[in-house]
């Protein structure tokens, strides 16, 4: 039986069998309000200890500040990183080399 896609504008995309929304999973586009953070629709994050709705940007990229040179762009339809927060946006590596992570320096 095919399942319909959740509404892209909802905050919690997973509905449990009892009808309640799963509070630990969010569509990032609907909870991240940060000038240096761009998120595509249907990209989600899940955490055993979820932050408040306004804390997801800090949880995912704790060293990304409004005055930072970089912009974190996460594409459409991606699960959030399973390996941990983005700590190395301002790293000193060579930017002409390809980056295989799901963000790019802008």
Instruction: Provide the pLDDT for residue 102.
Output: 47
Dihedral pair phi/psi, residue 30, rounded to 5°: -95, -5
pLDDT digits (tens, 9 = 90+) for 16-46: 989 899 999 999 999 999 999 888 888 888 8
Domain boundary assignment for the chain: 10-106
What mean pLDDT do residues 63-72 have? 88
The pTM of the full predicted model, rounded to 2 decimals, is 0.70
Query: Among candidates 32, 33, 22, 27, which has minimal Cα distance to 10?
Result: 27
- Do 90 and 70 form a contact (C-beta atoms < 8 A)? yes
Query: Among candidates 67, 53, 62, which has minimal Cα distance to 81?
Result: 62
């Amino acid at each position: 039986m095919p399942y319909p896609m959740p509404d892209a504008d909802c905050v919690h995309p997973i509905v449990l069998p009892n009808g309640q929304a799963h509070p630990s999973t969010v569509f990032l586009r609907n909870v991240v309000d940060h000038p240096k953070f761009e998120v595509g629709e249907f990209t989600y994050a899940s955490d055993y200890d979820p932050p408040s709705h306004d804390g997801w940007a800090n949880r995912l990229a704790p060293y990304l500040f409004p005055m930072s040179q970089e912009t974190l762009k996460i594409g459409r339809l991606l699960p959030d990183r399973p390996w941990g927060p983005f700590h190395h946006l301002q790293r000193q590596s060579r930017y002409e080399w390809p980056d295989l992570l799901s963000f790019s320096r802008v």
